[in-house]
Amino acid sequence: MKRKMLWVVLIAAMAIIGVTLMAHKNTGETIITPAKVKIAYLPVVQGLPLYVAIEKGYFKEAGLDVEPIKFEAPNQIIDALLSGQADFGAPGTASGITAISQAKKPNSLKIFAVIGGGSNIVNDELLVKPDSQLTSIADLKGKNLGILPGIQFRTIAKEILTKNGLVPDKDIMIVELAVPLQIQALSSGQVDALLTIEPVGTIGKAKGLAKDLIKSPMVQYISDPWYGAVGDVSTDYLEKEPETARKVIAVFAKTIDEINSNSNEMKQYLKNYTPLDETLISQVPLPVFKMYAGLTDIDNAALQKFFDIFVANNVIENGVLVEDLLYK
């Protein structure tokens, strides 16, 4: 009896499948399952191309089912890419940590976009409290400096401090803080200054909790232009899903073109992905966004100069060439 019932169920199921297939055959309809893609990101302004693509439905139009995965520290994104937890690092991924991964695990990542700024674009700031008496980096001796977590900003901080006559971890203590905690740490006195990126500066100054000690310190002390962020793709994913990867990169190219053409309108898409509220969105400066195909010799030289700092500070032993990291 049980065996008879089982056959009845199986035959019914096959009939349903057959009817469904016949219906699709008769109508000519083809069912296409969207390709799943996991994209890691930080809640910062530099991630705008991802936010625009999601909110305007560009990934869906390209037949992509994108899962955005938020992280709070730059090194977490690279770890996610290397472990397979993520397929792409959205624009805003740390370029320096990308270079470090290339030195330690060659050909593991490829850069498809760069994000940053020059002397005319505020992308990063050295912030202090509004009533601070500090007037220079040298005045930070004996103080605490807050930075983003991870080796990229720790190395940048050491480079800048050393150039101003300070010995890191001796003359000044470095405190790693996730983006949402930075302004609170400055306001409470946990740190005396913040070396940070947007939108932290815009938020802190708008709330009356911070002021600039130096605008664009990276441009002054690291490189001009300074491309501290990139868009990355895992080479494992490139090899396994080349067509899907190409579609994702094409979507990012489309959104970057839109941002560069109409930056003020595109700012609205920062709302749900960064700590910015609606009243501050119009005030935040946007960095430069460039796809790999649009990089100039000046851009490549600036990125190379930044990468070389990690050798000079003994983070990696051998140099990393920008050319070897670029998506082609």
pLDDT tens per residue, range 156-171: 999 999 999 999 999 9
CA 148 to chain centre: 13
Whether the pLDDT of residue 72 is over 70: the answer is: yes
Whether 134 and 65 map to the same domain: the answer is: no
What is the domain-level CATH number for residue 131?
3.40.190.10
Cis peptide before 74 (omega within 30 of 0): no
* Number of domains present in the structure of the chain: 2
Q: Domain boundary residue among 221, 248, 271? A: 221
Whether the pLDDT of residue 187 is over 70: the answer is: yes
Whether 81 and 158 map to the same domain: the answer is: no
Whether the pLDDT of residue 180 is over 70: the answer is: yes
Q: Domain boundary residue among 169, 200, 221? A: 221
26, part of any domain: no
Whether the pLDDT of residue 12 is over 90: the answer is: no
CA 296 to chain centre: 21
Whether 229 and 111 map to the same domain: the answer is: yes
Work out the average pLDDT over 270-278. Answer: 91
What the block records as the tokens of 326 is: 């670029």
209, part of any domain: yes
Element (H, E) at 299: helix 297-312
Whether 242 and 292 map to the same domain: the answer is: yes
Q: What is the DSSP letter of 282?
A: T
Establish how many alpha carbons lie within 13 A of residue 221's alpha carbon, considering only the half-sphere containing its beta carbon: 20
Q: Which residue has the higher pLDDT, 22 or 41?
A: 41
**CB neighbour list of residue 97: distance below 8 Å, 6 or more residues apart:** 74, 75, 77, 78, 150, 151, 152
Whether 212 and 166 map to the same domain: the answer is: yes
20, part of any domain: no
Whether 304 and 243 map to the same domain: the answer is: yes
What crossing angle do the helices spanning 297-312 and 151-163 adopt, rounded to 10°? 90
Mean of the per-residue pLDDT values of the chain = 90
203, part of any domain: yes
* Residue 247, φ and ψ in degrees, nearest 5: -65, -40
Whether 51 and 190 map to the same domain: the answer is: no
Whether 214 and 231 map to the same domain: the answer is: no
Q: Can you tell me the distance from the alpha carbon of 232 to that of 183, in angstroms, rounded to the nearest whole number?
A: 28
Whether 80 and 204 map to the same domain: the answer is: no
Whether 110 and 134 map to the same domain: the answer is: no
Q: Domain boundary residue among 187, 221, 255? A: 221
**CB neighbour list of residue 296: distance below 8 Å, 6 or more residues apart:** none
Q: Can you tell me the distance from the alpha carbon of 65 to that of 214, in angstroms, rounded to the nearest whole number?
A: 42
Please say whether the dihedral angle defined by the alpha carbons of residues 303, 308, 310 and 315, taken in this order, is positive or negative.
Answer: positive
Whole-number pLDDT of residue 28:
53
Whether 101 and 172 map to the same domain: the answer is: no
Q: For residue 284, which of 216, 222, 224, 197 has the smallest C-alpha distance? A: 197
Q: Can you tell me the distance from the alpha carbon of 69 to that of 66, in angstroms, rounded to the nearest whole number?
A: 10
**pLDDT bracket for residue 114 (50, 70, 90):** very high
Whole-number pLDDT of residue 29:
55
Whether 200 and 281 map to the same domain: the answer is: no
- Structural domain range at position 170: 124-221
Whole-number pLDDT of residue 266:
96
4, part of any domain: no
16, part of any domain: no
Give CA angle at 297 (293, 301), nearest 5°.
Answer: 115
244, part of any domain: yes
69, part of any domain: yes
Q: Can you tell me the distance from the alpha carbon of 267 to that of 295, in angstroms, rounded to the nearest whole number?
A: 23
